[in-house]
Structure 1
């Protein structure tokens, strides 16, 4: 079980306490608009239809217990992303109430930062990383093409044009270096994610 997942579980336990306080305070009782809604959230986010936050936390807890095995990388990451989205939706509701404000005075901001980083790590699916890699490779291809075009233009160019083209080629090589660095970094992220998935 990876560290980010453990932090996610720990955050869910905190959310369960906050949701209970929220429900006990009956924040929605005076809100006619919400009282007329069958559910607090969109159906694509939760199957639960309720005006109690604890019911939605229960659904997330069940989802966490039923996560696909980590070996089944794509299914596992999709399920974790869904859990992350559900938790963010509950946090949004809590943030609009004094329950959250009071709780956050007790918790140091550092904890929230650590949690955000953990969620970001676990939610960045390999699909997004492969997309990023593909974009970087396309950028690399275009830079190489631009360098090639300018090198071809050097032939027969006068001294002034020659100096301009060489400066452009140098700038393009600098951009190419940064692009290749980004490609290496993304490939490393993919490897780390795949290692996590195989644990």
Structure 2
């Protein structure tokens, strides 16, 4: 598993702990309106129907564990956008904990505001940077294929064609070199984002 996705998994595990603590505190026990609802969230956000926050975190885990390959950019990006929406929905509930604590006269540790931005940043990093990395790898694959094709053509080429093909191969190698530099740069961005997250 790549490092950014591992980081996302770790953050979701932390979210699960928060959700379990929230459920254990029985925040919804005195709320008749919530108790009358079949689900805590809109069905467009979660397919889960439950009054337990942990059940929704488990749905997020399932989505992340079954993410499509990054090469399928549109489907991959859609799945990550869904994860972002789901995480933000749960964080909104957790952020409101202090309000319920006041209403129910129950003491509950105040969560740092940094938590929400941290999770959001990780999801965005995973989405944006890995999409960029996937695109660069796809360009790299295509360039390698084009170079190999030109080499095959070179074996059956005339002198005049050989000169043109050699020039094309050189140009493609130049593009391949720039593409690989871009891949390295994106990987460095991912590492930098993770270091920032660790601060």
TM-score using structure 2 length? 0.55
In structure 2, relative to structure 1, the CA distance for the partners of 1:84 and 1:116 (3 Å cut) is closer
Q: Unaligned regions of 5+ residues in structure 2, if any?
A: 102-107, 132-181, 191-199
Cross-structure match for 2:121: 117
State whether residues 45 and 86 of structure 1, in contact with CA within 8 Å, keep that contact through their aligned partners in structure 2: yes
> CA, structure 1 residues 117+40, in 2 after alignment: closer, same or farther (shift >3 Å)?
same
Query: How many Å separate the matches in 1 of 2:50 and 2:81?
Result: 22
Q: Which has the higher contact order (CA 8 A, sep 6+)?
A: 1
**CA RMSD for the aligned pairs?**
3.0
Quick one: distance in 1 between partners of 2:49 and 2:116? 29
CA deviation vs aligned residue, 1:110-148 (integer Å, no higher than 9, x gap): x6654433223334597xxxxxxxxxxxxxxxxxxxxxx
Query: How far off its partner does 1:10 sit?
Result: 1.5
Correspondence for 2:68: 68
Question: For residue 112 of structure 2, what is the aligned residue in structure 1?
Answer: 104
Check the 8 A contact 2:19/2:57 in 1, yes or no: yes
Give the gaps of 5 or more residues in structure 1.
127-187
Cα deviation, 1:87-124, whole Å, max 9, x if unaligned, reads 1100000111149853439xxx4x66544332233345
Counterpart of 1:51?
51
Alpha-carbon distance in structure 1 between the residues aligned to 2:59 and 2:116: 23
Instruction: Give the Cα separation in 1 of the matches to 2:83 and 2:25.
Output: 25
| TM-score (structure 1 length as normaliser) | 0.55
1:30 aligns with 2:38: no
- Is the 8 Å Cα contact of residues 29 and 35 (structure 1) preserved in structure 2? yes
Given that 1:84 and 1:123 are in contact with CA atoms closer than 8 Å, whether structure 2 keeps it comes out as no
Aligned-residue offset at 1:6: 2.4
